[in-house]
């Protein structure tokens, strides 16, 4: 199978490495002047992976798109719409797109597959690949489980069969709405976990896991998805790698943010929190943890915000 991975940052370079390791013919694309691309071009590796020489590293987008059977996109979520408009100027007939990022478009509140379809990708040619896994563990040979979801069961099954290996056990998703919402919201909870670490309140992570999953489940249901997806691999299943791991960018961002330190890597949960808060208001869904993070990001003292959460009206746990 010919696989083109568009994006050569942390996750994109891993996806190229992974697909090459399981026998696919791989092209890894990145912008010609991007530091991540230049490092791979000059050194053949970055701080996470060493690319197999068989991988074709290129900054020519047409070359990357033309030969692909499957196009994997691994870029910042907020840049997806503009990037797809550029890709769709090329010949992408009969090509399948797999979105390997987690987020909600801030300006529209759209899920990423919705963005893809609005740009012109056919509904039966787009899927998502999400779930727990840190590159640092994968490259050591430590396995994990992930999920692939789409609007069509046959496409989901085909992609699971294409990407499966002893390193990653895939499950077939059957709730694209819940899968996308859960994967995006996971990063929001990761930032909150980092805030708790920075405040010296890590014991509250148990409460965060339980209550965070409940508010995400409510949102999934309101949007037409299944509440159960909040407790699957797309969300709760990804908590360990986000709420507790030192590798998590979102958790680390939250910790450094509350300590007044600068974090220089991408933390998708920042824009996702605002997007989910807006989405929840429009659908009449209560998301107190997400709203609390938004207040912190706008400058409200974290301690005061947490006090506000504890002073909320008492209610039944599953009301």
Tokens of 260: 């007044």
- Phi and psi (nearest 5°) for 68? -85, 140
Establish whether 164 is a catalytic residue.
no
Name beta bridge partners: 147: 130, 171
Burial class (CB in 10 A: 0-12, 13-18, 19+), 41: middle
Distance (Å, whole) CA 145 – CA 133: 8
Q: How far apart are the first and last CA of the chain?
A: 48
Taking alpha carbons only, the member of 196, 195, 189, 197 closest to residue 213 is: 189
Among 95, 102, 110, 186, the one annotated catalytic: 186
56 CA to centre of own chain = 25
Say what angle helices 249-258 and 288-297 make with each other, to 10 degrees. Answer: 60
Catalytic residues: 186
């Amino acid at each position: 199978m010919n696989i083109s991975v568009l994006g050569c940052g942390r996750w994109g370079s891993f996806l190229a490495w992974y697909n090459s390791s399981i026998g696919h013919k791989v092209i890894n694309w990145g912008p010609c002047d991007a530091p991540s691309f230049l490092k791979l071009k000059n050194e053949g590796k970055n701080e996470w992976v060493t690319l197999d020489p068989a991988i074709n590293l290129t900054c020519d987008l047409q070359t990357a798109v033309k030969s692909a059977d499957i196009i994997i996109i691994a870029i910042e979520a907020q840049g997806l719409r503009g990037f797809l408009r550029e890709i769709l100027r090329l010949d992408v007939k009969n090509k399948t797109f797999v979105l390997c990022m987690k987020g909600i478009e801030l300006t529209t509140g759209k899920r990423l597959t919705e963005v893809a379809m609005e740009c012109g990708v056919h509904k039966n040619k787009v899927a998502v690949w999400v779930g727990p896994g840190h590159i640092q563990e994968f490259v050591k040979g430590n396995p994990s489980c992930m999920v692939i979801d789409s609007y069509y069961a046959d496409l989901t099954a085909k992609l699971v069969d294409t990407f499966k290996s002893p390193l990653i056990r895939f499950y077939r998703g059957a709730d694209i709405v819940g899968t996308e919402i859960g994967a995006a919201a996971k990063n929001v909870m990761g930032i909150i976990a980092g805030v708790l670490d920075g405040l010296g309140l890590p014991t509250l992570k148990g409460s965060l896991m339980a209550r965070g999953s409940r508010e995400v489940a409510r949102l999934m249901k309101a949007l037409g998805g299944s509440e159960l997806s909040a407790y699957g691999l797309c969300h709760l299943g990804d908590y360990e790698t986000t709420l507790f791991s030192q590798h998590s960018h979102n958790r680390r961002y939250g910790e450094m943010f509350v300590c007044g330190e600068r974090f220089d890597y991408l933390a998708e949960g920042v824009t996702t929190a605002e997007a989910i808060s807006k989405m929840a208001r429009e659908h009449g869904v209560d998301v107190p943890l997400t709203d609390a993070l938004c207040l912190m990001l706008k400058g409200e003292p974290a301690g005061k915000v947490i006090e506000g959460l504890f002073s909320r009206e008492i209610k039944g746990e599953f009301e």
